[in-house]
Amino acid sequence: MMNKHWKKSTYSGGSGSCVEARAAAQGAAVRDTQNRELAELSLPNAEWSALLHALRTR
C-alpha cells in the first residue's frame, strides 16, 4: 500500500538531522529531512526489514 505521508523519526529530537520514511508499493522510501527535494531512497521489503532489524539491535 502506498502512503503519501512521510513520517519523521521519533529519535530526531531537535537537531535537524532527521530521516523521514513512508510506505511504498513494494517496501519503503526514506529521505533526508533537510534535503527533501534532492532524492529519496527506495528499499524493497526485505531490505527495509533488514535495515530496521539492524537499527533495533544496535
pLDDT of residue 1: 47
Task: Look at the block and give the residue holding cell 539491535.
Answer: 57
Question: Is residue 20 helix, strand or coil?
Answer: strand
Rounded to whole angstroms, the Cα distance separating 56 from 36 reads 25
More confident residue, 8 or 54: 54
pLDDT of residue 3: 61
Quote the number of domains for the chain.
1
In a domain, 1, yes or no: no
pLDDT of residue 2: 54
Parent domain of 32 = 7-56
| pLDDT tens sequence across 2-52 | 567 899 877 776 666 788 999 988 999 999 888 888 989 999 999 999 999
Question: Is residue 54 helix, strand or coil?
Answer: helix
In a domain, 2, yes or no: no
Alpha-carbon 11 to chain mean position? 12
